[in-house]
A and B are shown apart, each in its own frame.
Chain A
Amino acid sequence: MESRALYQEVILDHNRKPRNYGRLEQPTHHSEGLNPLCGDHIQLDVAVDGEQIKQLAFEGQSCAICKASASMMSAAVKGRSVAEADQLVDGFRALATGTADAEQMVTLGRLRVFEGIKDLPSRVKCAVLPWHTLHAALHAQSVVSTEGDADPVPGNPT
């Protein structure tokens, strides 16, 4: 697939007007995501009340794919339970690597626009980074790197 279509469909819109961009005043969870390949670096704040994700916000320096992915993620998980968010994290990782099953595809909903990223192997990390970071925030890891063990793609920092 050509990346231009992906950019035009979704990425440019979210890159210009990212949803939930900024920081939370009183986050209950926080994590920092790093992608040594691109230099992507995002901060993610989450406010969880009981089992429900009430608020989340991100900011940082990143490429357009990462920013759009974070923006759409924030809209998709807001108001969901932590368990549902975990399911979406797994689903998105599977989508980005071309291994999502039918059930995951249904759960992902609008996030399926990122399906084409699997054909841009060098950019999969960019799309997955916010999801890595969310998983780390919800499960008490302060910093996560795309070169970590949970990374779905073998690393190639230069």
Chain B
Amino acid sequence: MSAVPFSHNTTASNQGARSAEGATASTAPVAAAVAHAVDSGAAHGSAGVAGMQPDFDLARVRADFPILSEVRVHGRPLVYLDNAASSQMPQAVIERIVRYQRSGHANIHRGVHYLSDQATNAFEAARSTVRAFLNACEDREIIFTSGTTEAINLVASSWGRSALQPGDEIILSELEHHANIVPWQMVCDEKGARIRVIPVTDSGELDLEAYRRLFNARTRLVGVAHVSNALGTVNPVQEMISIAHAYGVPVLVDGAQAVPHETVDVQALDCDFYAFSGHKLYGPTGIGVLYGRAALLEQMPPYKGGGDMILSVSFEKTTYNHIPHKFEAGTPAIMPAIALAAAIDYVNGIGLPRMGAWEQHLLAHATARLAAIEGVRIIGTAPHKAAVLSFNIGNVHPHDVGSLLNDEGIAVRTGHHCAQPVMKRFGVPATVRASFAFYNTLAEVDLLADAIGRIKTLFE
């Protein structure tokens, strides 16, 4: 049976939402997507879901990622379910890195020699690849940063310092990653501005009515995650941007957890800033992207000073370069930028809609399996989620669960996920988080669920 790529708003997901927050032992919210592929009554085991296949060759895709077969943990195959922290890298990207370092490396935008031209062309071609990936209007709206964190710091520091006045307000959400909280606190402290917070509902969604009420004449910016890293909630950013724009307020979207799962079109979203990281998109660490609307970027002062960001320097007066170079002081991460473009080419070769559809199957199956284990509490039950599943087993500390899962070769993230406000909102110090990529299998989800069942028994 070929997979039916199901949209995010199917009945399936809505049923999943009934395993509402607070229910310690929710009655199996078997998603329809699972139900239609699972033999009736046999919601367990990979045999029951053997008929469900992705719309791409999963075995071949797994072979593209050497780490998935080369690494064994305690003698067992690696089950990598920590993709929201960092995804793995396909051979095509590894080879691009090797090719660049073997025959394409020099500093860029400087030399008049062959290699410098080659490297400059590859670096700027990478910018074009990113522009097309986000459907931005112009290449100069794409700024390379070290990651999402630096991208947000760039806006907070450059835009924030020049635009904020005492008494001004910034709207953030309760489910932000610390990277979209702390930079704003720093600049707000400095400028005498304050942060207003969009509350989160019991299912892990943003309260849009409360959001609307936060706007006033002092509101200067909205910063919101496209997808929550801790809960997986996909926020209605398009609607939120449209509300903010009605008040003339620009919006920064933290897209770190969104770009690996769905197609992002910054023009359709009409966002003002969009940030993401390369290493969550099958690329390397050390590279990220800030998309900014050209008109805004042009008004903003430089963020860092140094080479490449100037047109001319004298001790009397320095003239800054045009965007994007104004924001890229110093030698950038050339190889990682080129590798990020290779990762985007790889993703485009498979297709984000296909990848996202398979990840939704994995999420639905994992949700059904874990919800069926008495004592498992799923945290974040929004109807529209990316492939992230946060949960706890009774009162067992997530770090104990993580160490015991590691015995079985299963890698998950445990902790507060750099999102302490949302942990506090749900009354937990930490959670276990399994996050799926398109290269994960239903059998891996079953290994996780079986192991969770054993750990629960161990602690009884």
Residues of A within 8 A of B (CB): 2-4, 7-8, 12, 15, 37-39, 61-65, 120, 122-123, 126, 158
Q: What's the Cα separation between A1 and B418 when bound, in Å?
A: 29
Asked if B166 CB lies within 8 Å of chain A CBs, one says no
Q: What's the Cα separation between A4 and B406 when bound, in Å?
A: 10
Q: What's the Cα separation between A62 and B398 when bound, in Å?
A: 10
A interface SS class: helix
Instruction: Check if A63 sits within 8 Å of B397, measured CB to CB.
Output: yes
Residues of B within 8 A of A (CB): 74, 396-400, 403-404, 406-407, 415-418, 429-430, 458-459
Picked from B74, B404, B429, the residue with its CB within 8 Å of the CB of A39 is: B429
Instruction: Check if B396 sits within 8 Å of A64, measured CB to CB.
Output: yes
Q: What's the Cα separation between A3 and B400 when bound, in Å?
A: 9
Instruction: Check if A38 sits within 8 Å of B406, measured CB to CB.
Output: no
Instruction: Check if B416 sits within 8 Å of A39, measured CB to CB.
Output: yes
- Known pairs A63-B400, A64-B400, A123-B403 / 4 extra A-B pairs, C-beta < 8 Å: A3-B403, A3-B404, A39-B415, A65-B403
The contact sample of 13 A-B pairs, CB cut-off 8 A, is A2-B407, A3-B403, A4-B458, A12-B458, A38-B397, A38-B415, A38-B429, A38-B430, A39-B416, A63-B398, A65-B400, A123-B403, A126-B399
Which A residues are CB-close (under 8 A) to B398?
63
Select from chain B the residue with minimum beta-carbon distance to A36: B416
If A7-B400, A64-B396, A158-B418 touch, whether A12 touches B407 (CB-CB below 8 Å) is no
Instruction: Check if B397 sits within 8 Å of A7, measured CB to CB.
Output: no
Q: What's the Cα separation between A38 and B416 when bound, in Å?
A: 8
Q: What's the Cα separation between A37 and B399 when bound, in Å?
A: 9
Which B residues are CB-close (under 8 A) to A64?
396-397, 400, 459
Q: What's the Cα separation between A130 and B415 when bound, in Å?
A: 20
Instruction: Check if B404 sits within 8 Å of A4, measured CB to CB.
Output: yes
Q: Which of A12, A39, A65, A126 has the most B CB atoms < 10 Å from its CB?
A: A39
If A37-B415, A38-B397 touch, whether A61 touches B429 (CB-CB below 8 Å) is yes
Select from chain B the residue with minimum beta-carbon distance to A126: B399
Picked from A12, A39, A65, A126, the residue with its CB within 8 Å of the CB of B459 is: A12
Q: What's the Cα separation between A15 and B396 when bound, in Å?
A: 10
